[in-house]
Structure 1
Amino acid sequence: MLQRIQTVYLLLSGLLMTSLFFLPFAQIEAESGEVYNFMYRGLTNADGETVIPTLALAILLTAATFIAFITIFLFKKRVLQIRLCGLNLALLLGSTGMIYYLGTQLIDEITGVMSYKIMTAFPIVALILTFLALRAIGKDIALLKSMDRIR
């Protein structure tokens, strides 16, 4: 299972997505001087209380993380692995768009300055890793089909 490169890609993708549950995407410094963190569950103040919840983003990130880890253990069902990787690509693309959209909406509600963190790029990196895993699974399927032709 770990000997295959797509397992490493999917594991790295899952770990990047898991890290998003602990790190903020952006920091908003309001004109009043308060500092807010934009996290997966919403906009939180300095005390850690959620001021504006973002349930849809939390659901998207959770689904993308679980699908990345579930796909690793389906190594005997390659066609299902490809379908789940395609679904995960769509979820990661949607979560990237939602992070940007919610960031612009939150900055409109709370006037201030938003500074994005490096964690904002993690879904994009996970998207690339999932695409590489999808290609590697496709190569495995092609290799197995060619072995069947030789026999």
Structure 2
Amino acid sequence: MIQRIQTLYLLLSGLLMGSLFFIPLAQIETDTQEVFQFIYRGLTNAEGETVTPTLALSILLTVATLVSFITIFLYKNRTLQIRLCGINLALLLGSTGMIYYLGSQLADDSSVVSYSITTAFPVVALILTFLALRAIGKDIALLKSMDRIR
């Protein structure tokens, strides 16, 4: 059913991942006092022009967000929900790694990278997705126990 606790976990996970499209991930300041913003689509300068695009990160964040929302509406097929949660865990882990990797690669040795709190959102979404996976597993166990009683 859609009113289960895993729906809340998956919804919060999807909202956290969706918020990454609107908030900068990091700020990179060079030694020439030039400031760049690291957002989901790449490194942008002060005028908002994309200096270095990061298409892989954009695709990864989009797919992770969509999988979270799609998993909510597959409440009748719990085994598929568990598989999609596992896929989403891998996507969230990959997006976390890619954010930190790209943040360090886009910055020079003389520049300073200041990560914002939004870089922790994929980790929180990872924990919420794991909690949803456990709750779905508990639902399956409950339904199996009810079938044994009949």
Tell me the TM-score normalized by structure 1: 0.97
**1:83-98 superposed matches below 5 A:** 83-98=83-98
**1:8-87 superposed matches below 5 A:** 8-87=8-87
User: Could you report, residue by residue, the CA deviation over 1:75-123 in whole angstroms, capped at 9, with x for unpaired residues?
Assistant: 0000000000000000000000001110110113x74111110000000
Deviation at 1:47, TM superposition (A): 1.2
Q: What secondary structure is seen at the aligned counterpart in 2 of 1:43?
A: strand
5+ residue gaps in structure 1?
Answer: none
Counterpart Cα distance in 1 of 2:98 and 2:119: 11
The answer to whether the Cα contact below 8 Å between 1:2 and 1:8 also exists between their aligned partners in 2 is no
Counterpart Cα distance in 2 of 1:48 and 1:23: 13
Deviation at 1:2, TM superposition (A): 4.3
Q: What secondary structure is seen at the aligned counterpart in 2 of 1:3?
A: coil
Letter in 2 for 1:146: S
Q: What secondary structure is seen at the aligned counterpart in 1 of 2:75?
A: coil
Identity of aligned residues (%): 79
**1:69-148 superposed matches below 5 A:** 69-108=69-108, 111-148=110-147
Which residue in 2 is equivalent to 1:149?
Answer: 148
Counterpart Cα distance in 2 of 1:105 and 1:24: 17
5+ residue gaps in structure 2?
Answer: none
Letter in 1 for 2:91: L
Segments ≥4 residues shifted beyond 3 Å = none
> How many pairs are equivalent?
150
The answer to whether the Cα contact below 8 Å between 1:85 and 1:134 also exists between their aligned partners in 2 is yes
Letter in 1 for 2:80: L
